[in-house]
């Protein structure tokens, strides 16, 4: 696959492109349970920014090597040069916990998902987990607080009482329970199957109009940010409908439907300007 700009070359993650238009990011510190250090956070931020700017990539998938998805922050490593940059990028833990972004990210949770790992999955677009996976916010047991963005978000996903139980007790939640609560989309049998299933879902998304996916995701995020249905719909129409109608993909999609053929989407040219979106986004 040829790209407009070369993909990043991170030290603590591996980038592959297993199917058309899909980026698979694998955390590669299994001996440290894929805990993320300062450099790793900024690497992941760069990866997701590159994905958003790269026309050939439409969906991202994140997983981990070994028995952990991500066990949180690695605070033990005294990295050379780390003091010259903030601990977290503006997009938060792993570049995801406060990311608004342009294109969807699917998490394939292959094992334990704790602390910052859980903060990431609360703010991504879809989550697939294996049966062996479990989730938790153990911060209170260590005298610290989950401050990377999850607390105001998780309560919207699973409700006040469940969020209070999970965060204030610090207990681990099984994959089956997380699915029941709405934190996980789907549970599959094995860690190997979880990546396969996540890539399958990512492929379904990538097969759709890239313009329509980006704009539909923006509309959903308006509700996530707390707008009412009328205000959010009006903002979506006033801000995005013109961009959709001016693009080639709406014409291709409607033409393919009439002609009863598979649409041939073009790489999207739609951009997201966060500076003009006021309080609606995190950037």
Q: What average pLDDT score do residues 113-138 get?
A: 97
DSSP for 258-270, please give it. Answer: HHTS---PPPP--
pLDDT for res 255: 86
Residues 244 and 141 in one domain: no
Q: Which residue has the tokens 């099984």?
A: 174
CATH number of residue 238's parent domain: 1.10.12.10
CATH number of residue 105's parent domain: 3.90.226.10
- At 2-39, the pLDDT tens digits run 899 999 999 999 999 999 999 999 999 999 999 999 99
Q: Please report, in angstroms and rounded to a whole number, the separation of the first and last CA atoms in the chain.
A: 30
Check pLDDT > 90 for residue 117.
yes
Closest CA to 282 of 235, 230, 225: 225
Closest CA to 107 of 233, 212, 202, 174: 202
* Structural domain boundaries enclosing 18: 13-206
Residues 241 and 124 in one domain: no
- Give domain status of residue 98, yes or no: yes
pLDDT for res 277: 46
Q: What is the spatial distance between Cα 25 and Cα 95, in angstroms, rounded to a whole number?
A: 12
Angle, vertex CA 67, rays to CA 65 and CA 71, nearest 5: 85
Give the active site residue among 116, 117, 136, 253. Answer: 116
- Give domain status of residue 6, yes or no: no
| 131 counts as catalytic | no
Residues 176 and 274 in one domain: no
Residues 201 and 214 in one domain: no
Which are the contacts of 205, defined by CB distance < 8 A and separation ≥ 6? 58, 59, 104, 106, 213
Residues 234 and 215 in one domain: yes
| 73 counts as catalytic | yes
- Give domain status of residue 8, yes or no: no
pLDDT band at 273 (very low <50, low <70, confident <90, very high): low
- At 90-113, the pLDDT tens digits run 999 999 999 999 999 999 999 999
- Give domain status of residue 274, yes or no: yes
End position of a domain, from candidates 190, 206, 222: 206
| 148 counts as catalytic | no
| 31 counts as catalytic | no
Give the active site residue among 60, 139, 149, 202. Answer: 139
DSSP for 122-188, please give it. Answer: HHSSEEEEETT-EEE-GGGGGT----SSHHHHHHHHH-HHHHHHHHHH---EEHHHHHHHTS-SEEE
Sign of CA dihedral 229, 147, 217, 268: positive
Give the active site residue among 43, 54, 65, 119. Answer: 119
Round the average pLDDT of the chain to a whole number and report it: 89
pLDDT for res 102: 94
End position of a domain, from candidates 179, 206, 233: 206
The SS3 call for residue 2 is coil
pLDDT band at 280 (very low <50, low <70, confident <90, very high): very low
CA 276 to chain centre: 22
End position of a domain, from candidates 151, 181, 206: 206
- At 256-265, the pLDDT tens digits run 888 888 888 8
- At 159-171, the pLDDT tens digits run 999 999 999 999 9
H/E stretch holding 283 reads none
pLDDT band at 77 (very low <50, low <70, confident <90, very high): low
> What is the total count of domains within the chain?
2
- Give domain status of residue 126, yes or no: yes
Angle, vertex CA 210, rays to CA 206 and CA 216, nearest 5: 105
pLDDT for res 235: 78
Give the active site residue among 68, 73, 129, 133. Answer: 73
pLDDT band at 42 (very low <50, low <70, confident <90, very high): very high
- Give domain status of residue 4, yes or no: no
Q: What average pLDDT score do residues 149-156 get?
A: 91
CB 102 within 8 A of CB 128: no
Q: What is the spatial distance between Cα 64 and Cα 113, in angstroms, rounded to a whole number?
A: 10
- Give domain status of residue 1, yes or no: no
Residues 161 and 28 in one domain: yes
- Give domain status of residue 5, yes or no: no
Residues 174 and 100 in one domain: yes
Residues 155 and 127 in one domain: yes
Residues 222 and 250 in one domain: yes
């Amino acid at each position: 696959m040829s790209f407009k700009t070369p993909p990043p070359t991170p030290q603590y993650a591996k980038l592959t492109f297993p199917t058309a238009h899909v980026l698979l990011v694998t955390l590669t510190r299994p001996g440290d349970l894929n805990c993320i250090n300062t450099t790793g956070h900024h690497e992941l931020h760069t990866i997701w920014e590159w994905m958003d700017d790269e026309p050939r990539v439409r969906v991202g998938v994140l997983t981990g090597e070994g028995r952990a998805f991500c066990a949180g922050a690695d605070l033990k490593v005294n990295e050379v040069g780390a003091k010259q940059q903030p601990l977290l990028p503006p997009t938060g833990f792993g570049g995801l916990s406060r990311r608004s972004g342009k294109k969807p990210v699917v998490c394939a949770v292959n094992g334990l998902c704790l602390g910052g790992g859980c903060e990431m999955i609360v703010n991504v677009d879809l989550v697939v987990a294996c049966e062996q996976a479990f989730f938790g916010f153990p911060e209170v047991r260590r005298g610290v607080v989950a401050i990377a963005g999850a607390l105001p978000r998780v309560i919207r996903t699973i409700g006040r009482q469940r969020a209070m139980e999970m965060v204030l007790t610090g207990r681990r939640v099984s994959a089956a329970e997380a699915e029941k609560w709405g934190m996980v989309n789907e549970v599959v049998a094995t860690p190997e199957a979880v990546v396969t299933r996540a890539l399958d879902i990512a492929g379904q998304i990538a097969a759709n109009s890239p313009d329509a996916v980006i704009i539909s995701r923006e509309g959903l995020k308006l509700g996530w940010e707390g707008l009412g249905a009328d205000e959010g719909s009006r903002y979506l129409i006033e801000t995005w409908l013109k961009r959709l109608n001016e693009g080639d993909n709406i014409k291709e999609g409607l033409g393919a439907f009439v002609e009863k053929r598979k649409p041939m989407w073009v790489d999207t040219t739609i951009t997201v300007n966060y500076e003009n979106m006021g309080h609606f986004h995190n950037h």
